[in-house]
Amino acid sequence: MNLLAAVTIPDVAIFVLSAALSLAGAVGILLAKNPVHAALSLVMTLFGIAVAFIELQADFLAAVQIIVYAGAIVVLFLFVIMFLGVDKREDLSVEPIVGQRSTAAVLVLGLMASIIALGFIGHFEVGPASQTAELTGGAGNVADLGRAVFTTYLFAFEATAGLLVIAVIGAVVLARKPEAKATAAVVEEGEQ
């Protein structure tokens, strides 16, 4: 079976664009001295992954990716960076622990190599994919996803509602100011 037979030039162009965007953004996060620049690089990576989702015909997820990640999560990051005033440059030339970077590089390269090697030499039993119909793209994909979320995954969907409420309450409890009238010792005890 020739895998590359069906690959068309526009598909390759879109894939290369998404890979370039996401990898450039990822390296940007790694090398950014200023947290604000890292957050902007994160937007670039998330956009590149949204392009990859469109190439995979997961249109709804691409839109959600932009709205939730680029729209909400990165804005939250930027808000906290500016709220705390930590947007100063960090000196990356000194290694905090001797050998930290080389050890991390060896570990991560070993991880990546072993995952890719497993993918090529491993044989995975994935069930009868060919017997089911191919996933639809476009509006059909949104309908399929909605049907799955509200039938098969209904319990998980309801559980996420509880999770979000808990997260909001947790964030308010964590980030609120300690009460002014309490003494320093009481604040020490009461605030975990």
Partner 1 sequence: MSIPLSWFIVLAVVLFGIGAFGVLIRRNVLIMFMCVELMLNAANLALVGFSRSLHDVGGEATVFFVLVVAAAEVVVGLGIVVAIFRRRQSAIADDLAELGG
Among 82, 100, 158, 182, binds partner 1 (CB under 8 A): 100
Among 98, 121, 133, 184, binds partner 1 (CB under 8 A): 133
Among 82, 139, 166, 182, binds partner 1 (CB under 8 A): 166
* Residue listed under structure tokens 């996933």: 135
Q: Does 171 bind partner 1 (CB under 8 A)?
A: yes
Q: Does 109 bind partner 1 (CB under 8 A)?
A: yes
Looking only at residues 1 through 60 of this chain, which bind partner 1 when binding is defined by CB under 8 A? 3-4, 6-8, 11-12, 15, 18-19, 22-23, 26-27, 29-30, 32, 35, 38-39, 42, 45-46, 49, 52-53, 55-58, 60
Residue 101 corresponds to which tokens in the numbers above? 């970077």
User: How does 11-34 read in b/e, with b if 16+ C-beta sit within 10 Å?
Assistant: eeeeeeebeebbeebeebbeebee
Q: Does 63 bind partner 1 (CB under 8 A)?
A: no
Return the number of the residue (174 or 181) whose C-beta is nearest partner 1: 174
Total residues at the site for partner 1 (CB under 8 A)? 92
Rg (CA), the chain: 23
Provide the minimum distance between the beta carbon of 85 and partner 1 in the complex, in angstroms, as a whole number. Answer: 9
Spatial CB neighbours of 53, under 8 Å, sequence gap ≥ 6:
59, 61, 62, 65
Return the number of the residue (84 or 181) whose C-beta is nearest partner 1: 84
Burial degree of 50 (CB within 10 A; 0-12, 13-18, 19+): buried
Among 98, 123, 125, 132, binds partner 1 (CB under 8 A): 132
CA-closest candidate to residue 137, choices 56, 63, 64, 66: 56
CA-closest candidate to residue 152, choices 144, 164, 163: 144
Q: Does 134 bind partner 1 (CB under 8 A)?
A: yes
Return the number of the residue (73 or 181) whose C-beta is nearest partner 1: 73
